[in-house]
Amino acid sequence: MNEVINFGSINLEFFHTKETTAGSLDMFRMTVQPRGRVPVPHYHESWDEAVYGLSGTLHFTVDGKTSPVGPGDTLFIKRGVVHGFNNVTEEPATCLSVLTPGVLGPGYFREIAALLSAGAPDPQRIKEIMLRHGLVPAPPKA
């Protein structure tokens, strides 16, 4: 059975994880609600990410360049490259994400979901969770 994790305006459904693929990949479907709260821009230390648009349109900013990802569109995010995403439309947007190798798994998302469900999250605690799982928040632009 697939694991579903909801937090804030984001819903994830994991199809494959680092545990089920012996570390080969993580694969999940992500739905972001309109104008929903999303993670801060960040980069991954140890994995690449490929994104495939399924419905609606997410706007990904990768290395300073913004690209819409809609149905059938693809995007590759190399490890170490700062990126973020948002849904600025009035409809939910869904994509399929594949992380290689599979070193993240759903644990990060479970922790963030638990923190968000407990009330107003402390930004320092979010940063600690991100760093522990290999996501590095990008410094704010000056």
pLDDT tens digits for 74-115?
A: 999 999 999 999 999 999 999 999 999 999 999 999 999 999
Alpha helices in the chain (DSSP H): 107-117, 123-132
The whole-chain average pLDDT of the chain stands at 94
Task: Out of 36-50, 64-78, 113-127, pick the least confident.
Answer: 113-127
Whether 21 shows a pLDDT value over 90: the answer reads yes
pLDDT band at 142; cut points 50, 70, 90: low
Whether 60 shows a pLDDT value over 90: the answer reads yes
Instruction: Tell me the whole-structure pTM to 2 decimals.
Output: 0.92
More confident residue, 120 or 25: 25
Instruction: Residue 18: name the closest of 83, 107, 80 by CA.
Output: 107
pLDDT band at 59; cut points 50, 70, 90: very high
Amino acid at 73: D
The hierarchical CATH code for the domain 3-136 is 2.60.120.10
Give Dmax (Cα) for the chain: 45
